[in-house]
Structure 1
Amino acid sequence: MVVDDNEMNRLTLEHYVGMTAGLTLAGTFADGVACLNYFRKGGKADILLLDINMPELTGLDLVRILPEPLPDVVLVTSHRDYAVDAFELRVTDYLVKPLDYARFSRTVDRIRSQRAALAAASPTGGAEAMFDADGSSLFLKINNRLMRVNFDEVLYIEAMSMYSVLVTLKHKHIVYATLKTFEERLPFAHFVRVHRSYMVNTQLIEAVEDNQLQLPGGHEVPVAKAYQDSFFKRLRGI
């Protein structure tokens, strides 16, 4: 999906998509509002190539209000000083104008590699999630076999487009369910949303430093600015 209010930039990105094997253009928009309406109506895209400076709704504001599941977001900008905002929103990458196909191609390869590595590391590879009646247990349906997940061992849950990744010390389980589904279904008070893309098991937090949660096995999860007040209030009550 390409979103940019500059026609030349849109045409350039559309051309790059057409040049790249395995990519198909899902749509193109000249403003963030039209893109938001597309996703609110159920539209899908795996990668969102998104200009930042647009009238009415900036690219950064669009990412903040996009409905889940989020695509891989690649910011397209004339400026290099959006590192903090990119961290807060957990965008995948950003392209600096003037656009260059070699840099665009590296971004696509990076996204593909990340997805392939995650799929290879997961013993479940996109399993169907099956919650019991009260949501206290989760079974992953793998072929004709049901595997129970012990939530006491889950360090954190990470959003990945239409999937979620349940991370334990030993495994990463890719599950066909959005992070919002887990947030609504899990009855455990110690699983807390700390970022647009993360829920964390507060019982397993080893330390908090510079708004980074340190977990066993060297795992780290960021606490986004929008979630800091509610998270630290919850942490003090545990």
Structure 2
Amino acid sequence: MPLSPLACVIVDDNEINRLTLEHLVALDPDLELAASLSGGVEALNYFRQGGHADLLLLDIEMPHLSGLDLPQLLPEPAPAIIMVTSHRDFAVTAFDMQAVDYLVKPVDVTRFRQAVARVVQRNEAPSEAPQPTAPDSDLFVKVGSRVLRINFDEVLYIEALSTYSVLVTKTQKHIVYLTLKSLAERLPFAHFIRVHRSYIVNTNLVDSVEDNLLKLGKHEVPVGKSYQDTFYKSLRGL
């Protein structure tokens, strides 16, 4: 629990949704409601007039100024953001914008508490000297009609499949409705490297390399000729 409650601002154009979130905030000892606002424009004015928030509970689809546009206009230091929406389709975009979490309405109390705990944990991290940190290994990815949280530390490689891509772990495969090129541009992990026009590999999980063939557990992935120099330079060795 933080030394003092986090100042929380709710932004949602639906009054029932705001009342629901206000109730959840009131139940959480880590939070204190600073403002409950009916839209993005009102929120922008609140912050520009000196209003403060440690946490922003932000709806996405709102008239005049959406929850995807508002964060780009906030003055620094910007609050932590938890997106709260009726739609799952924005999850990837939300996490590209560095949202701490993404909640789908109707919001479950336990899930809400988990999201707040992530914000509390981030705020309590040591801050004496800024240290480079590895990005969170979890990303939300649209798989079919679902948006799944996937731990990319467990992804061995990603394979192109026509206009889709396949995320391959030791035990599962997930078909993602993005091209390999789009995935390569979005992945925030330096250890995922394109080694072939049809493959991206997690270099942390490469067991061995033989004749330009990568061994990742029981899987094998070829290294394309035009990718060999970049790939071998990325390997750590003696």
Residue 168 of structure 1 and its aligned partner are, at CA, apart by 7.8
Query: Which residue of the other structure, out of 27, 46, 57, is the alignment partner of 1:49?
Result: 57
Paired residue type of 1:43: G
Match of residue 132 from structure 2? 167
Give me the whole-angstrom Cα distance separating, in 2, the residues matched to 1:98 and 1:91.
Answer: 19
Residue 210 of structure 1 and its aligned partner are, at CA, apart by 3.1
Name structure 1 gaps, 5 residues minimum: 126-164, 170-208, 219-238
Give me the whole-angstrom Cα distance separating, in 2, the residues matched to 1:110 and 1:89.
Answer: 16
- Give the secondary-structure state (helix, strand or coil) at the position aligned to 1:75: strand
Give me the whole-angstrom Cα distance separating, in 2, the residues matched to 1:84 and 1:13.
Answer: 23
Q: Does 1:114 align with 2:122?
A: yes
Q: What's the RMSD between the two structures over aligned residues?
A: 2.3
Q: Does 1:16 align with 2:24?
A: yes
TM, length-normalised to structure 1: 0.52
Cα deviation 1:90-139 (Å, max 9, x = unaligned) = 111011001221111111112212333x22xx5x27xxxxxxxxxxxxxx
Match of residue 73 from structure 1? 81
Name structure 2 gaps, 5 residues minimum: 1-8, 135-183, 192-201, 203-238
- Give the secondary-structure state (helix, strand or coil) at the position aligned to 2:41: helix
Give me the whole-angstrom Cα distance separating, in 1, the residues matched to 2:40 and 2:23.
Answer: 20
Give me the whole-angstrom Cα distance separating, in 1, the residues matched to 2:107 and 2:95.
Answer: 22
Match of residue 93 from structure 1? 101
Q: Which has the higher contact order (CA 8 A, sep 6+)?
A: 1
Question: Runs ≥4 in structure 1, deviation > 6 angstroms?
Answer: none
Percent same amino acid among aligned pairs? 50
Contact 2:12 2:38 in 1 (8 A): yes
Give me the whole-angstrom Cα distance separating, in 2, the residues matched to 1:78 and 1:42.
Answer: 30
More helix by share: 1
Query: Which residue of the other structure, out of 187, 190, 194, is the alignment partner of 1:214?
Result: 190
Cα deviation 1:169-218 (Å, max 9, x = unaligned) = 9xxxxxxxxxxxxxxxxxxxxxxxxxxxxxxxxxxxxxxx6354739xx9
- Give the secondary-structure state (helix, strand or coil) at the position aligned to 1:167: coil
TM, length-normalised to structure 2: 0.52
Q: Does 1:38 align with 2:14?
A: no
Match of residue 186 from structure 1? none
The alignment covers a number of residue pairs equal to 134
Give me the whole-angstrom Cα distance separating, in 1, the residues matched to 2:185 and 2:106.
Answer: 34
